Structure 1
Amino acid sequence: MTAFIKALLFVVVAEMGDKTQLLAMAMASKYKAKQVLIGVFIATIFNHALAVAVGSYLSAFIPMNNVKIVAAISFLIFGLWTLRGDKIDDENEKKAKFGPVVTVAIAFFIAEMGDKTQLMTVAISAQYQQPIYILMGTTVGMMVADSIGIIGGAWMCKNIPEVYIKWIAGVIFMFFGTLTLYGSVPASMLNAAYISLYLIIIAVLIYLAGVKFAYHDEVSNIVSAEKSNPQSEIK
């Protein structure tokens, strides 16, 4: 059950400001919310089942301590990725000819390939030998996060600055990454010199990802586009 809860919470956090959540908001301006959620569910099941299979396969060949170190580094990368944010490519916003549900499912499946939520699912699956619980947790997490994006996007944009959401989510990932790394590296590396070097590197990376090269106001841009679109109301 721990794997389920961890997978669910981490996916919800990872999806805040992620391109698939932004894509859900954009799709909701074209199609009914129910159709978008069904498409997201179908895409998530197939995409994350693939990720769980890959993670479970890797754990059979990699020592568990190394798995924890890789997972810790992955969480740090996810944190930096979250701070930087995502933007939607125009190609993802184009309508296809397969109907709303299939169009959304295809767009989400493609958008999730190599996305941080998929890579995080691989990392958690390698760390925990509970593929069913992890798949259930990541799927529920995606549905919760994208429902927030579809239904609460306008409210979030109005009441919570997007930068705050990104920084809170990013800090959570980096905290767990640091905590996991602390418990996994050799004791000889837990000294003042290595810790100071680690903190300096992390601080530089946080500045680059969260300030220098960050994407800003993507949620607000989508909400503004929805307001100008006569079909943008949640149906």
Structure 2
Amino acid sequence: MHEFLLSTAIVALAEMGDKTQLLALLLAARYQKPIPILIAILLATIINHGLSAALGQWITTVIGPDVLLWIVSLGFIAMALWMLVPDELDDESESIHKWQRYGVFGATFILFFLAEIGDKTQIATVALAARFDSLLWVTAGTTLGMMIANAPAVFVGNKLANKLPISLIHKISALIFLTIGIWTLLQHYFF
């Protein structure tokens, strides 16, 4: 259960101001149909994060525990630094227009799945799954974290996004990632 709660918290914080949250805002403004958008985001996230968690678990079988410890620890520290770089949404209007022939659900699913590839939250999911031996709880937690961050974005759009202290949220997320990275190393060598 610890893996689930930590995964939820980390991804919910990491998603604040992230490009996929900005994409959710854009899709909500464009289509104004929150339910199909949220269902598409949920399914895209389950698949994307499920595959990412499986990759994280697989990595633990091919890399020795000492090397893996350093990779995961340094990965969390790198995520802390990455959290301090604000995301920007490239001009997604053209992408939305390109995929709109698949309807609200299809366009949202495709765009969200593609935007999540190589994103902070996907990489965090790989690292969390490598750190914890629980594919199910990590996937469930990171998916819930994505929904916690994106559901309000879909329902209230820019009104809420402009009132959240995104910079502070990113700094808190960075501190959490840094703490996990350092704690993982300290726990291995000193406890």
TM normalised by structure 1 equals 0.72
Q: In structure 1, what is the equivalent of residue 8 of structure 2?
A: 8
Alignment pair present for 1:82 and 2:83: yes
Q: In structure 2, what is the equivalent of residue 225 of structure 1?
A: none
Structure 1 CA distance for aligned equivalents of residues 24 and 170 of structure 2: 17
Which one of 78, 93, 96 corresponds to residue 94 of structure 1? 96
- Consecutive unaligned residues of structure 2, counting only runs of 5 or more, are none
Q: Displaced runs of 4+ in structure 1, greater than 6 A?
A: none
- Specify whether residues 58 and 27 from structure 1 end up closer, same or farther in structure 2 by C-alpha distance, changes over 3 A only: same
> How big is the alpha-carbon RMSD for the aligned residues of Structure 1 and Structure 2?
1.9
The structure in which a higher percent of residues are helix is 2
Structure 1 CA distance for aligned equivalents of residues 54 and 179 of structure 2: 27
Q: In structure 2, what is the equivalent of residue 46 of structure 1?
A: 47
The structure with the larger Rg is 1
Work out the percentage of aligned pairs sharing the same amino acid. Answer: 36
- Consecutive unaligned residues of structure 1, counting only runs of 5 or more, are 188-235
Is the Cα–Cα contact under 8 Å of residues 14 and 78 in structure 1 kept in the other structure? no
Task: After TM superposition, give the deviation of residue 133 of structure 1 in Å.
Answer: 1.5
Structure 1 CA distance for aligned equivalents of residues 51 and 19 of structure 2: 20
Structure 1 CA distance for aligned equivalents of residues 26 and 66 of structure 2: 41
Structure 2 CA distance for aligned equivalents of residues 145 and 173 of structure 1: 18
Task: After TM superposition, give the deviation of residue 91 of structure 1 in Å.
Answer: 3.7
Which one of 81, 95, 119 corresponds to residue 123 of structure 2? 119
Alignment pair present for 1:165 and 2:169: yes
Cα deviation digits, residues 130-150 of structure 1 (max 9, x gap)? 111211111111111111333
Cα deviation digits, residues 63-96 of structure 1 (max 9, x gap)? 3343232222111222222211111111465322
Q: In structure 2, what is the equivalent of residue 28 of structure 1?
A: 28
Structure 2 CA distance for aligned equivalents of residues 5 and 66 of structure 1: 26
Aligned-partner residue type, residue 29 of structure 1 = A
Is the Cα–Cα contact under 8 Å of residues 52 and 122 in structure 2 kept in the other structure? yes
TM normalised by structure 2 equals 0.87
Q: In structure 2, what is the equivalent of residue 155 of structure 1?
A: 160
Aligned residues: 185
- Specify whether residues 162 and 141 from structure 1 end up closer, same or farther in structure 2 by C-alpha distance, changes over 3 A only: closer
Which one of 138, 158, 181 corresponds to residue 177 of structure 1? 181
Which one of 123, 143, 146 corresponds to residue 142 of structure 1? 146
Aligned-partner residue type, residue 84 of structure 1 = V
Is the Cα–Cα contact under 8 Å of residues 14 and 170 in structure 2 kept in the other structure? no
